[in-house]
Amino acid sequence: MSLDFFSSLTQLFLNYGGLSLLLVSFAAATILPFSSEAALMGAIWSGLPAAEAILWASIGNCGACAFNYGLGYWFGKTIETRIAESKTYSAWAERTGRWGYWVLLFSFLPFVGDPITVLSGFFRQKFWIFASIVFSLRILRYIALVYGLSL
């Protein structure tokens, strides 16, 4: 990523604070090939307090996970072809079908976590179980990142 991109991101955080972090974290977990962790740390380095940054990033990221679940749930038949054509999605679809809710323990990982959230909706897993596992892991990941780097 270019230096201009990061300077634009920093300016966004300075101008709009937590709301911009919420939007970037949401987009990073849905459509953008970008790291919400990098956005979180960028917001903190731009002056947003750590606890507030964790809160905003968590709301955005967990909201995106719920959105992904909804996409899988409502558009399951439409995305079935895409799942079959994608190596990542098809491999995780097989695991999700075999392992059930246990696969959600991998939902916080980069690259595979977002497909897992879509597949959970596709397989119509119970949302309250999905949310309690996925949201907890995502929030704990941010807390570990922020406080682990500050030691």
What tens digit of pLDDT does each residue of 70-112 get? 999 998 877 777 777 878 777 777 877 788 889 899 999 888 8
Output the pLDDT for position 104: 94
Looking at residue 92, what is its pLDDT? 75
Residue ranges of domains in the chain: 3-149
What is the C-alpha to C-alpha distance for residues 124 and 6, in angstroms, rounded to an integer? 38
Exposure on the CB side of residue 136, measured as CA atoms within 13 A: 8
Segments in the chain below pLDDT 50: none
Using CA atoms, how far apart are residues 63 and 45, in angstroms rounded to an integer? 24
- pLDDT value at position 80? 76
- What pLDDT sits at residue 33? 75
Residue 9: predicted pLDDT: 65
Helices (H), the chain: 3-16, 18-28, 36-45, 50-74, 76-85, 87-99, 113-122, 127-149
Cα-Cα-Cα-Cα dihedral sign, residues 148, 40, 58, 63: negative
